[in-house]
Structure 1
Amino acid sequence: MNTSSTSLAERAGRVAAVAAAHAEDVDAKARFPREAVEAMRFERLLSIQIAPELGGEDAALSDVAEICSLIGQSCASAAMVFAMHHIKLSSLVSHGAESEWHRTFMRRVAREQLLLASATTEGGIGGNLRNSICAIEVDGADCHLEKDATVISYGAYADAILITSRAHADAASTDQVMTVFCKDQYTLEQTQTWDTLGMRGTCSDGYLFKGDAPAEQILPKPFAEIAAQSMLAASHLLWSSVWYGIAVNAVARAQSFVRAAARKSPGTTPPGALRLAEASSLLQLLKSNIIAGLHEFGAAKKDVDRLSSVGFAVAMNNVKIGASEIILTIINHAMLVCGILGYKNGTPYSLGRHLRDAHSAQLMISNDRILGNTSNLLLVHRQDTSLMG
């Protein structure tokens, strides 16, 4: 695919069209959105963050966020796969550029359009990604890792997995590293099945992971640094962009319903119009929240101290909390507008899939966990109250 003459938005639009055509089937069968992912590969969207000299396009996180929202309007599962891949890629781009192995791997990601998965969740600690029980074993030039990964998003379909562990057998649970394992370097023994309310196509089964690889595949920076400087922001901003896409489509369906009702009764305001106006206002609030977060991240990337600061962590946490809560309110408003036709499956106004997918938002990482972390940070951080930041 020659991408030089087409914009990211045009390429994303073509992927979104493919995702939309298969979204209902992906959801109903809880199957991997393979058609949409193949379209991402064809459009070379899996490598856009990578530097041009390594085969990428040096796209900003805001560009990735926009694509997440566009695909999210069609199929939340496909959009979440794209988001999770780019969350992992952001860690490689930000923290692997000084390692020759990781630079070579990024070239391969760009050349082959490899799909990257994440394994940070672990039996015994749940979604607390800043703690690990398992430890990587380094023996000379090689390393070995076994991990009870209770969730690996689309693990069976990934070309490589970026996985966290303790740095060594005697390390504290928070002394972690992240390692890249390619598909031919690990085995997955399924331990849990992904049969969920929503986001069914992410196929986030649980596995016993066993991997052997050269030790140079361990990222050179501590995971604490990776999490604070790239993964935290990328996760909260890209997830929120997917949720925004879901909300956009829900409001669009509600607007179509109101317009159809208005055509049937000229000169009369349909009863759902006020709810639609409320939903529109909330959608703008959600959009503003994400844009503010992207601007904050863009500014912080120019200042390492700011990127690692308490204030930045609080801001990113607040983006995720706000987005994950407001999306449900927006979709509920849309449901009230569309009434029984929104509640039923198989109508142009159906919102059941949107509502089910949106309920995952407060659970990816649990809002209670994030609020607990933010409350501790606020004990030592003075909230920025200036309007212009």
Structure 2
Amino acid sequence: MTIQPIHAAEAGESVAGDPALRALVVAGIAAAAAEAVDRDGRFPAEAIAAAKAQRLMGLLVPQALGGEGRSLAEVAEVAYRLGRACASTAMIFAMHQTKVACIVDHGTGSPWHAALLRRLCDEQLLLASSTTEGQGGGNVRSSAAAIEPDGECVTLDRAASVISYGAEADGVVTTARRAPDAQPSDQVLAVLLREDYSLERVSGWETLGMRGTCSAGFRLRARFRPEQVLPERYPAIHAETMTPVSHILWSSAWAGIAAGAVERAQAFTRQAARGAGGQMPPGAVHYGRAVSSLKTLRALVADALSRHAATAADPRSRAGLDFQTAVTMLKVEVSELAVTTVGSALRACGLAGYRQDGPFSIGRSLRDILSAPIMIHNDRITQNLATTALLATVPAGLAD
């Protein structure tokens, strides 16, 4: 399966209008480089440069601040299309947009953050995320490093076990304890630009898949202005924006990876049937399962987007147990079903899918999608959800 770019637009020429059409331009460039990105474990520089050229970095930023004010559904569509081409590109795009959403939802009343969003749109800045730290791993609701006063500025010294594409980003959005005497869960979110921090690499990123995200570990040392901290405490940001947006956009990217694998399985099945005089190959049953699973994946994402849109008038309602349960389990369900979908596509293609070479290879898709259940481990998520659910009342009826 080969995703072709729109011939009327090269990487440096923006296609006006629908972000989905612009995503096709980027997807064509990402697909052409995806094998090299995976093989060399390198940042997908061509694809991200194309995304910047197509002005995709500020899609969620309001028009009044220089962005396009696009909906989360439109951004999810871009993540899906990129996922079909290059998993690392799609995940980088999804993580960046999650950080932008946090600033838009919780920082536009701050002059510093409003100015940052204008600059982001003007320069098409790429923001990385630093929410995992030390031995805490994926527990994003706990921070060890604290913001400390330093004259008119504040400092932060953080052992970040993972900062995806940190060395390539134009800025980092990081969690931290509010103050040296604050509890680990008393967190804030700070926006740092390149001139504010230094990164010392402390670990590499030699992984099975998602190799192009370059999610190495760093020691982050920063000195910045206090106003760069978002005015709202992180618990609210996490519940209202970070969790729903990240889970929806990650799920869209994973569904896109699955769609790419299903498309290869379809091409193989068609070719095999033609070669056998119309008789379906033995793996056709697995292709049928892959198609069905992909439909379910897309439906799960669509339902989450509908739930998110329904709370637009009252974003604080997203902190409620029903919404949080649904959007939390979206990540779990989509990540696991996407693995199943790609596995079915592999079995549909048989040896042709198992091979690393050839047009029907599913190997890269499988290695990439295996990261989904362990990117903030599903067991951690379901355990935390079970603890929270103990405080809720079990519904007595369907209408409750």
TM class, shorter-chain normalised?
over 0.9
Q: Cα gap change, 1:301/1:25 in structure 2, threshold over 3 Å: closer, same or farther?
A: same
Percentage identity across aligned positions?
43
- Whether the aligned pair in 2 keeps the contact of 1:135 and 1:165 (CA below 8 Å) is yes
Which residue of 223, 227, 230 maps to 1:216? 227
Extract unaligned runs of 5+ from structure 1: none
Q: 1:53 aligns with which of 41, 47, 64?
A: 64
For 1:314 and 1:375, how far apart are their aligned partners in 2? 10
Q: Write the distance in 2 (CA, Å) between the matches of 1:379 and 1:191.
A: 39
Equivalent in the alignment of 2:4: none
1:359 maps to what in 2? 370
How far 1:139 sits from its partner (Å)? 3.6
Counterpart of 1:321 (choices 313, 318, 332) is 332
User: What is the CA-CA distance between 1:316 and the residue it aligns to?
Assistant: 0.7
TM-score scaled by length of structure 2:
0.94
What displacement does 1:327 show?
A: 0.9
Unaligned runs of 5+ in 2: 1-11
Gap change, CA 1:284 and 1:383, over 3 Å in 2:
farther
Structure 1 residue 275, shift from structure 2 partner? 1.4
1:260 is matched with 271
Q: Which amino acid aligns with 1:179?
A: A
| 1:3–1:56 CA distance, 2 compared to 1 (3 A) | farther
| SS of residue matched to 2:373 | coil
Contact 1:76 1:357 in 2 (8 A): yes
Contact 2:13–2:53, Cα closer than 8 Å, also in 1: no
Q: CA deviation at 1:387?
A: 8.9
Distance in 2 (CA, whole Å) between partners of 1:276 and 1:210 is 50
1:69 corresponding residue in structure 2? 80
Cα distance between partner residues in 2 of 1:193 and 1:2: 35
Partner residue in 2 for 1:79: 90
**Residue 11 of structure 1: aligned partner:** 22
CA distance in 2, matches of 1:351, 1:386: 45
Deviation at 1:267, TM superposition (A): 3.7
Give the number of aligned pairs. 389
TM-score when normalising by structure 1: 0.97
Q: Distance in 2 between matches of 1:104 and 1:37?
A: 23
Alignment of 1:236 with 2:247, yes or no, is: yes
The residue that corresponds to 1:206 in the other structure is: 217
Q: How much has 1:291 moved relative to structure 2? A: 0.7
Query: In structure 1, what residue type is equivalent to 2:389?
Result: L
Question: Which of the residues 295, 306, 311 maps onto 2:306?
Answer: 295
Q: Give the drift of 1:386.
A: 9.3
- What is the SS of the residue equivalent to 1:124? helix
Contact conserved, 1:301 with 1:307, CA < 8 A, in 2?
no
CA contact (8 A) 1:311 1:381 kept: no
Amino acid across the alignment from 1:96: G
Displacement of 1:385:
10
Change (3 A) 1:26 1:260: same
Decide whether aligned partners of structure 1 residues 66 and 388 sit closer, same or farther in structure 2, where only a CA change above 3 A counts.
farther
CA contact (8 A) 1:165 1:177 kept: yes
Is this contact kept in 1: 2:251–2:331, CA < 8 A? yes
Amino acid of the residue matched to residue 375 of structure 1? A
Which deviations, in whole Å up to 9, do the C-alpha atoms of 1:351-388 show, x marking residues without a partner?
A: 11101000100111110110011112222335779999
Instruction: Decide whether aligned partners of structure 1 residues 388 and 241 sit closer, same or farther in structure 2, where only a CA change above 3 A counts.
Output: farther
SS of residue paired to 1:155:
coil
Shift of 1:95: 0.3
Q: CA RMSD in A?
A: 1.7
User: Segments of 4+ in structure 1 off by > 4 A?
Assistant: 1-4, 382-389
Tell me which amino acid in the other structure corresponds to 1:109.
Answer: L
Partner SS state of residue 171, structure 1: coil
| Cα deviation code 1:194-221 (max 9, x no counterpart) | 1101000000110000000111101100
Partner residue, 1:97: 108
1:162-194 deviation digits (Å, cap 9, x = unpaired): 111100011011000111111011000000001
Shift of 1:3: 5.6
Aligned partner of 2:181 in structure 1 is: 170
Q: Is the 8 A contact 1:122 1:151 kept in 2?
A: yes
1:336 partner letter: R
2:357 match? 346
State how far apart, in whole Å, the 1-side matches of 2:353 and 2:153 are.
55
C-alpha displacement of 1:304: 3.4
| Corresponding residue for residue 273 of structure 1 | 284
Q: CA deviation at 1:272?
A: 1.9
Cα displacement (A) at 1:231: 0.3
Sort the Cα spacing of 1:150 and 1:55 in 2 relative to 1 into closer, same or farther, 3 A: same
Query: 1:132 aligns to what SS in structure 2?
Result: coil
Report the CA distance shift for 1:2/1:58 in structure 2 as closer, same or farther (over 3 A). Answer: farther
